[in-house]
Amino acid sequence: MAALVLIGLPVFLLCLGVPIFVALIAAASIGIVTMGIGSMAPVHVALFGGLDNFPLLAVPLFIFAGEVMGRGVTAQTFDTALTGFEPDQAVLDAMGAQPEFTTPIWDYMAGLVDEQRVADGRAKLEEMAKVVANIEQKLGVDGTVPIAIWGIETDYGRNMGKRSLVRSLTTLSCAGGRQRFFRNELVETLRIVQSGDIAPEALTGSWAGAFGHTQFMPSTYQRLALDFDGDGRRDLIGTVADALGSTANYLKRSGWETSMPWGYEVRLPANYKGPSGRRNKQLITQWKALGIKRVDGSELTGPDRAALLLPTGATGPAFIVFRNFDAIYSYNPAEHYALAIAHLSDRLRGGGPLRTAWPTDDPGLSRAERRELQQLLIARGYDIGNADGILGSRTREAIKAFQASAGLPADAHPGTKVLNALRAQKKSSDK
Ligand SMILES: [Ca+2]
């Protein structure tokens, strides 16, 4: 009956051309009679929320309310969380935005696995030694991998995202192309609020609803989050131990094999033309027979089934990867991402940089170098805002203009070449 009134009546009245607020009031009146005041939270929200500029959102919000009530979220939770709700246009813009540039893997890796992130991660590994040991003992997962995920997802908790999860997800539940997906995430968010595990005002994250030190989605939280420090709350924002333990639990549930490597860098025989690809698993003996060696020249070892990963074909770094690589991949299904996590975890354990160079004459920049590049551009009078290390369209335009003025190929690539050219010009002008 509740769903019928909440959904059916306003939609029916709207079809007849009745204005939205009249339809809602009508539903409210009948709702009060049939369901009691407590269930009228969605009406309250729809009528008194900040929907002035988005009147059409009242309808999906209303439909959503019916769904929420059926899934264990109380009217009080809904009302408290959503009264005064104002849609966030920036969130819709972020969802609609296309990536501006394609980033070559050498740029991607240079920014994600730079010396600063390695040094910070090694310090964190020491600081969280007890948690890491617990992860290895209780979950059987290599503790450096959740630390690496932490470092790459939020720079060890520095950038967890400041957008209200409820506001972002309510906006995406009512508008845009993936409403069904985001409605489910919103329901799970409201259930987190209702449980008291994380205070609503602390529940902030990315525009798409990922939150906490390692950026869980709310539905993932409900499935996999652990109270790893044992204080009675699963708090992935306020408690690093909970975030790391939950991330390790994610890896475990994704098939992590205890005491096994994710993989390692290898060296191909000359003119290698054999199979490759993450899904193309073969016996390790078959890879050996093709002449593939570890990068230090030793024989391949590890689990039986392995794949050969060639991110830039036969000419760049090559990797033999095992099932644990797939577990990392499942955290964020992109091979470049999984490789950055895997490589950073090796670096945290004391390993060095990749031995094989990427096939480029213009390698990528660390975050410190990106900021330096921007500072040099600003010093030359280019208006690119702050030197924040984010290489957006203004930085690219400035690079292109500088390249043209310096007689370089104007490819706008924010790499080592343009940085060195800027450094050289500064040196000569400093004299
Ligand atoms: Ca806890």
pLDDT at 32 (0 to 100): 41
Measure the CA–CA gap between 327 and 321, rounded to whole angstroms.
11
Q: Is 218 helix (H, G, I), strand (E, B) or coil?
A: helix
Residue 14 has pLDDT above 60, yes or no: no
How confident is the model over 386-413, as pLDDT tens digits? 999 999 999 999 999 999 999 999 999 9
DSSP string of 24-81, one letter each residue: HHHHHHHHHHHH-GGGGHHHHHHHHSS-TT-GGGHHHHHHHHHHHHTTT--HHHHHHH
pLDDT bucket at 431, cuts 50 / 70 / 90: confident
Residue 387: DSSP 8-state? -
pLDDT bucket at 31, cuts 50 / 70 / 90: very low
Measure the CA–CA gap between 76 and 83, rounded to whole angstroms.
10
For strand 282-283 and strand 163-164, is the pairing parallel, antiparallel, or unpaired? Answer: unpaired
Query: What's the 247 CA to ligand 1 centre distance in angstroms?
Result: 13
What are phi and psi for residue 135, nearest 5 degrees? -60, -45
Query: What's the 229 CA to ligand 1 centre distance in angstroms?
Result: 5
What are phi and psi for residue 369, nearest 5 degrees? -70, -35
For strand 263-267 and strand 293-294, is the pairing parallel, antiparallel, or unpaired? Answer: antiparallel
Q: Is the dihedral of CA 261, 266, 269, 275 positive or negative?
A: positive
Residue percentage of the chain with pLDDT more than 90: 74
Query: What's the 242 CA to ligand 1 centre distance in angstroms?
Result: 5
pLDDT at 25 (0 to 100): 52
Q: Which of 67, 153, 185, 265 is catalytic?
A: 153
How confident is the model over 253-305, as pLDDT tens digits? 999 999 999 999 999 999 999 999 999 999 999 999 999 999 999 999 999 99
Q: Which amino acid is at 337?
A: Y
Residue ranges of E strands in 133-215:
163-164, 204-205
Query: What's the 232 CA to ligand 1 centre distance in angstroms?
Result: 6
On whether the CB atoms of residues 246 and 234 are closer than 8 A, the answer is yes
Q: Mark 98-114 as b/e (b = at least 16 C-beta within 10 Å).
A: eeeeeebbbbbbbbbbb
Per the structure block, which two tokens stand in for 342? Answer: 């895997």
Residue 85 has pLDDT above 60, yes or no: yes
Taking residues 156-184, what's their average pLDDT? 93
Per-domain boundaries in the chain:
2-86, 163-253, 367-430
Taking residues 195-210, what's their average pLDDT? 94
Taking residues 242-255, what's their average pLDDT? 98
pLDDT at 49 (0 to 100): 52
Residue 217 has pLDDT above 50, yes or no: yes
Q: Bigger pLDDT: 143 or 80?
A: 143
On whether the CB atoms of residues 22 and 74 are closer than 8 A, the answer is no
- Is residue 153 annotated as part of the catalytic site, yes or no? yes
pLDDT at 21 (0 to 100): 52
Taking residues 198-210, what's their average pLDDT? 94
How confident is the model over 338-382, as pLDDT tens digits? 999 999 999 999 999 999 999 999 999 999 999 999 999 999 999
pLDDT at 38 (0 to 100): 41
pLDDT at 429 (0 to 100): 85
Query: What's the 228 CA to ligand 1 centre distance in angstroms?
Result: 6
Distances (CA, A) of 250 to 153, 155, 215, 254, 295: 15, 19, 12, 6, 30
Residue 2 has pLDDT above 70, yes or no: no
pLDDT bucket at 5, cuts 50 / 70 / 90: very low
Query: What's the 244 CA to ligand 1 centre distance in angstroms?
Result: 11
pLDDT at 412 (0 to 100): 96
Measure the CA–CA gap between 311 and 332, rounded to whole angstroms.
17
Query: What's the 212 CA to ligand 1 centre distance in angstroms?
Result: 13
Residue 24 has pLDDT above 90, yes or no: no
Question: Per CATH, is 367-430 categorized as 3.40.50?
Answer: no
Residue 35 has pLDDT above 90, yes or no: no
Residue 185 has pLDDT above 60, yes or no: yes
- Classify 163-253 by CATH class: mainly alpha
Measure the CA–CA gap between 143 and 149, rounded to whole angstroms.
10
Taking residues 307-334, what's their average pLDDT? 97
Closest CA to 173 of 295, 285, 81, 104: 81
pLDDT at 82 (0 to 100): 84
pLDDT bucket at 175, cuts 50 / 70 / 90: confident
Q: Bigger pLDDT: 102 or 141?
A: 141
Instruction: Identify the H or E element spanning 117.
Output: helix 115-127
Residue 29 has pLDDT above 90, yes or no: no
Query: What's the 198 CA to ligand 1 centre distance in angstroms?
Result: 10
pLDDT at 34 (0 to 100): 41
CA 160 vs. chain centroid, Å, equals 10
pLDDT bucket at 1, cuts 50 / 70 / 90: very low
The HSE-up count of residue 104 (CA atoms within 13 Å, CB side) is 15
Averaged pLDDT score across all residues of the chain: 89
